[in-house]
Structure 1
Amino acid sequence: MIVERIWTGNAYRNFNYLIACPESGEVLAIDPLDHQKCLAAAKAKGWQITQILNTHEHQDHTGGNAAMIAATGAKLLAHHRAGARIAGVDRGLKAGDVIKVGKRVELECMDTPGHTMCHICLRSHGDQPILFSGDTLFNAGAGNCHNGGDPNELYATFVDQLSKLPENTRIYPGHDYIENNLRFTLAREPDNVAAQALLPSVAGHDPATSVVTTLKEEKEFNTFFRLTSPGVIAKLRESFPELPEHPDAKTVFVKLRELRNTW
């Protein structure tokens, strides 16, 4: 499997992805908002885009669909309940469904509600597992929930699904927010050594060459995985003094997401 990460350079800081079969050259395009860059990248490598996957229904992920389909005739894939929100879906996907790309690539669908209620992440298997996480999991952060989502559902997705993936899973999110997210981590947990070490390398960085993190690393510096950290809890109680001394993990997650909304 070949992963081509495309930095759009737009105001929303989107990443688009091309997933190619090295044997056939067939490609799955994930959230190809910048259809021109995606088409140019595929053409330069002699690839053929045959499928498009929208992780969810927001316009900054679906906005390139029409132009991409017109140019390639690709089939459109999305969450099985997203048909009313995404025009022209050819295949509705459920948890556990497999997307085949060419002869050698298989990706498993995960139903990951929270950012929206019709959100899909894709995972690969093998010696080097990969997660295409859309707007559910960001490098050092978590998706917002104020455009059709629910922080309680996002918490369940993190705890019941994402946290249980292999530790060496490489994370490919829908946006580049890593610098700001690390600054949020350090505002919540000032002594987080992993965040302190990584921040200088991404401060003012070129997202086109940005670091790709693993799930193991995320658990070290992503506040939304660090729900039992005494430091995180102590700092959280400064903002929410009504919290008990030992709040449950779900409460910590939801309150962190509330803080991040205005941070």
Structure 2
Amino acid sequence: MIVKQIWTGNAYRNFNYLIACSETGEALAIDPLDHEKCLQAAKEEGWDITQILNTHEHRDHTGGNEAMVRATGARILAHKNAADKIPDIARGLAAGDVVKVGKTVELEALDTPGHTMCHVCLLSHTDRPALFCGDTLFNAGAGNCHHGGHPAELYKTFSGQLARLSPATLIYPGHDYIENNLRFTLSREPDNRQAQDMLERLASQDPNDAYVSTLDVEMQINTFFRLTSPTVIAKLREAFPDLPDSPDPRTVFLKLRELRNRW
């Protein structure tokens, strides 16, 4: 499996992705908003884009579909319940469905509600797994739930699915928000040395050559995975004095998401 991360350079700080089969040159485009950059990257590599995967229905992820289909004839794949939100879906995906690219690439669809209720992530079936997570999981952060999502469902996705993946899983998010997200982590957990070191190392990184984290790293720097940290809980009780001394992880997650909404 060959992965090409494409930095759009737009105001929303989107990443697009091409996943290619090394034997056939067939490629899958994930959320190809900047269709021109995706098409140019595929041309340079000699790849043939045959499929488009939309992680969810928001326009900053689907806006390149029409032009990409015109240029390549690629089939559109998305969540099985997104047919009324994303035009011309050729294949609706449910949890456990496998997306094949050429002869060598298999990607498993995960049904990951929260940011929206029709969100899918793709998990590679490779020796070292990779997660293409759209707007569900960001480096050091979590997706918002403002436009068709629900924070309680996002918590279920984090705790019931993402946290159970292999720690070695590579994380490929839909946007570059790492610097701001690390600052939020440190506002909640100022003694998090790993987050501080990473912020110093990655401040003003070039998104054209972006750092790729792993789930293990996220467990250390992403406050939405650090729900039992004594510092996170103590700082949370400063913001929410009625919070119990030992709140359950779900409550911590929801309160963190509430704080992040206005941070």
Structure 1 length normalisation: TM-score? 0.99
Distance apart, 1:128 and its partner CA: 0.8
For 1:59 and 1:30, how far apart are their aligned partners in 2? 13
For 2:126 and 2:91, how far apart are their aligned partners in 1? 25
Cα contact 1:202–1:210 (8 A) shared by 2: no
For 1:78 and 1:125, how far apart are their aligned partners in 2? 19
Structure 2 counterpart of 1:42: 42
Structure 1 counterpart of 2:199: 199
Structure 2 counterpart of 1:62: 62
Structure 2 residue 16 is the aligned partner of structure 1 residue 16: yes
Structure 2 counterpart of 1:178: 178
For 2:113 and 2:247, how far apart are their aligned partners in 1? 23
Distance apart, 1:126 and its partner CA: 2.6
Structure 2 residue 95 is the aligned partner of structure 1 residue 95: yes
Structure 2 counterpart of 1:149: 149
Aligned sequence identity (%): 71
For 2:123 and 2:244, how far apart are their aligned partners in 1? 37
CA offsets, 1:3-37, max 9 Å, x none?
00000000000000000000000000000000000
- Which SS does the other structure have where 1:76 is aligned? strand
For 1:71 and 1:96, how far apart are their aligned partners in 2? 30
- Which SS does the other structure have where 1:216 is aligned? helix
Structure 2 counterpart of 1:135: 135
Cα contact 1:78–1:91 (8 A) shared by 2: yes
Alignment size in residue pairs? 263
RMSD: 0.5
For 2:204 and 2:104, how far apart are their aligned partners in 1? 37
Instruction: Supply the AA of the counterpart residue of 2:77.
Output: L
- Which SS does the other structure have where 1:71 is aligned? helix
Structure 1 counterpart of 2:158: 158
- Where structure 1 has 5 or more consecutive residues not aligned to the other structure, the ranges are none
- Which SS does the other structure have where 1:123 is aligned? strand
Cα contact 2:105–2:125 (8 A) shared by 1: no
Instruction: Supply the AA of the counterpart residue of 2:75.
Output: K
Cα contact 1:14–1:176 (8 A) shared by 2: yes
- Where structure 2 has 5 or more consecutive residues not aligned to the other structure, the ranges are none
1:232-251 residue pairs with structure 2 within 5 A? 232-251=232-251
For 1:27 and 1:81, how far apart are their aligned partners in 2? 24
Distance apart, 1:131 and its partner CA: 0.2
Distance apart, 1:105 and its partner CA: 0.4
CA offsets, 1:122-169, max 9 Å, x none?
001232110000000000000000100000000000000000000000
Structure 2 length normalisation: TM-score? 0.99
- Which SS does the other structure have where 2:232 is aligned? helix
Distance apart, 1:113 and its partner CA: 0.1
